Amino acid sequence: MDCDKCEREAVMHAAYSGLHLCEDHFCRSVEKRLRRRVRDDNLLPASATPDEPQTWLIGLSGGKDSVVLTQILHDTFANDPRVELVALTIHEGIEGYRDKSLDACLELTDELDIRHEVVTYEEEFDVRMDDVVEKDPESMAACAYCGVFRRDLLSKYAEEYGADKLLTGHNLDDEAETALMNFLEGDVAQIAKHFDASLGKFAEETPSGVSSTESDEDDENDDSPRTRNDQNSFVPRAKPLRDVPEKEVALYAHLENLPAHITECPHSSEAYRAEIQQLMLSLEENHPGTRHSIMAGYEELAAVAADEFGIGDGKREINECERCGASTTGDICRKCALVESIHAV
Ligand code: SF4
Ligand SMILES: [Zn+2]
Ligand SMILES: [Zn+2]
């Protein structure tokens, strides 16, 4: 089958759009979608200048998603003095797993000449995931501990490096699965949080740095696009790859010969997500475009939910953790509580 845009042979067929694309046109379309997301979400504010650049911290795990994100952001902004990229890899202490993906991270950041930092659970919390799984003091899935620790370190180092944004490699499948899980769990507050934490656009800025909510010229209606509530105590997150399906991210990494590490974590334990994943795959197969339509509707609903539940306007109080100073809604943050219970075993 030929590419729909040229005479070359197609390497992929996207059932949701009906397009057949050759290697070149496919790769360019992935890059275009990422760049459009950066633009549409106003990731680069007008106040960023070569003298006052934005620092974007990329959570680089060495898996295909974060590797593709890093590569395309580098290709886009390497010659733009308004953006500085820093990559952060978190080592969880999982024998034989993170070591290999860390190699992929080192190879990539070396090649691209990007500042790369590595932090470990062991150095930070005196905890290794392999031991956490053994001890399991809270009778929880491994990922429930690991997710808390990872989020804590990403936020801590985003702040420490003076990052303006924290970017992660979540793809369309990840986001549509999360959306569906939030729906099925009936968790509207979580949907609101999702919007404010990473889905919503950033408010547009005038060149003087003042936020404006004026809509884009090409907006079809007169309503200003809803922007996310500002979460003063967190470095804001964004997911520039969230329009690209997982398979296409993998194909891009393969075609561009990127050093991505593709094996599953031995402690991976998100049984519910795996079930949703299967459901999504079969829905997508029988009804191409399901992931896109889930996200389109979810984003609108999430914006309304964020208005109702948003934490930016003082509806939820944020304190500093008594132990580590991290932002928390209680006295002690979840990470400190978990570390304490692991060490108590
Ligand atoms: S799969 Fe779970 S345990 Fe493994 S690295 Fe990811 S969050 Fe951690
Ligand atoms: Zn082509
Ligand atoms: Zn704490």
In three-state form (DSSP H/G/I as H, E/B as E, the rest C), the secondary structure along 91-125 is: ECCCCCCHHHHHHHHHHHHHHHCCEEEEEEHHHHH
Ligand closest to CA 25:
2
Using alpha carbons only, give the angle 119, 122, 127 rounded to the nearest 5 degrees. 135
CB of 330 closer than 6 angstroms to any ligand 1 atom: no
CB of 142 closer than 6 angstroms to any ligand 1 atom: yes
- Lowest-confidence region among 208-222, 249-263, 309-323, 331-345: 208-222
pLDDT tens by residue, 307-324: 888 655 555 678 899 999
**Mean pLDDT along residues 241-260:** 97
DSSP 3-state assignment of 53? coil
Please tell me the distance from the alpha carbon of residue 90 to that of residue 7, in angstroms, as a whole number. Answer: 44
Centre of ligand 2 from the C-alpha of residue 26, in Å: 7
What is the reported pLDDT for 218? 45
DSSP string of 168-213, one letter each residue: ----HHHHHHHHHHHHHTT-HHHHHHHIIIIISBPPEE-TTS-EE-
Centre of ligand 2 from the C-alpha of residue 24, in Å: 6
Atom of ligand 1 nearest to the CA of 146: 8
Domain ranges of the chain: 10-314
Listed residues: CB within 5 A of ion ligand 2:
3, 5-6, 8, 22, 25
236 pLDDT above the threshold of 60 = yes
What is the reported pLDDT for 226? 80
Q: In terms of CATH, what superfamily is 10-314?
A: HUPs (3.40.50.620)
284 pLDDT above the threshold of 50 = yes
Please indicate whether residue 242 or residue 96 has the higher confidence score (pLDDT): 242
Do 253 and 63 contact (CB within 8 A), yes or no?
no
Query: Where does the pLDDT of residue 55 fall: very low under 50, low under 70, confident under 90, or very high at 90 and above?
Result: very high
CB of 199 closer than 6 angstroms to any ligand 1 atom: no
**Mean pLDDT along residues 163-189:** 95
What is the reported pLDDT for 125? 97
What is the reported pLDDT for 215? 41
Residue nearest to atom 7 of ligand 1 (CA): 143
The position carrying tokens 């109702």 is 308
What is the reported pLDDT for 207? 54
What is the reported pLDDT for 214? 43
CB of 14 closer than 6 angstroms to any ligand 1 atom: no
222 pLDDT above the threshold of 80 = no
Residues 6+ away with beta carbon under 8 Å from 331: 319, 321, 322
232 pLDDT above the threshold of 90 = no
Centre of ligand 2 from the C-alpha of residue 1, in Å: 11
What is the reported pLDDT for 76? 97
DSSP 3-state assignment of 22? strand
Do 191 and 301 contact (CB within 8 A), yes or no?
yes
Q: Which amino acid is at 300?
A: E
Is 41 annotated in a binding site? The answer is no
Query: Where does the pLDDT of residue 300 fall: very low under 50, low under 70, confident under 90, or very high at 90 and above?
Result: very high
pLDDT tens by residue, 5-23: 999 999 999 999 999 999 9
pLDDT tens by residue, 121-151: 999 999 999 999 999 999 999 999 999 999 9
Axis-axis angle for helices 23-40, 246-255 (nearest 10):
120
Centre of ligand 3 from the C-alpha of residue 123, in Å: 15
Provide the mean pLDDT of the chain.
Answer: 91
What is the reported pLDDT for 40? 94
pLDDT tens by residue, 198-212: 898 998 876 555 554
Query: Where does the pLDDT of residue 264 fall: very low under 50, low under 70, confident under 90, or very high at 90 and above?
Result: confident
Query: Where does the pLDDT of residue 92 fall: very low under 50, low under 70, confident under 90, or very high at 90 and above?
Result: very high
What is the reported pLDDT for 224? 66
Burial of 266 (0-12, 13-18, 19+ CB in 10 A): middle
Q: Spell 269-299 as b/e; 16+ CB within 10 A means b.
A: bbeebeebbeebeebbeeeeebbbebbeebb
Query: Where does the pLDDT of residue 98 fall: very low under 50, low under 70, confident under 90, or very high at 90 and above?
Result: confident
